[in-house]
Amino acid sequence: MTVEALSELIDPELTIVVAACWVIGMILKGTPQIPNWTIVYIVSGAAIVLAMALQGFTLEVALQGLLCGAVSVYGHQLFKQTREAVRKNGEES
């Protein structure tokens, strides 16, 4: 799936929700009391709540929020995995 395809699925007004979820996820990751496996669920729930707060309480908005949460987690993993691969590759050289 391309970025263009995702931008067609997610309302541009909800870009702020993706950014907020990214920050929420980073804060949760740095909190020792929060198990890593729960972060995706917390971020997804927060995304749905934030999207609904911005656009109203409908099933479509809930799905938009879920997509925002998923994109934020996916984007974070892309960044993290790439950074780790580059760091590992630099150590081997």
Q: How many domains does the chain have?
A: 1
Is residue 67, in this structure, part of any structural domain at all?
A: yes
The answer to whether residue 64 is domain-embedded is yes
pTM score of the predicted model: 0.78
Structure tokens at 54: 């911005």
Distance CA 93, CA 11 (A): 43
In whole angstroms, what is the distance from residue 88 CA to residue 63 CA? 37
pLDDT tens, residue by residue, 21-38: 999 999 999 999 999 899
Q: Which domain, by its residues, includes 72? A: 35-92
Cα dist from 42 to 5, 49, 58, 59, whole Å? 25, 11, 20, 19
- Residues 18, 68: contact at Cβ < 8 Å? yes
Q: Which pLDDT tens digit goes with each residue over 52-76? A: 999 999 999 999 999 999 888 888 8
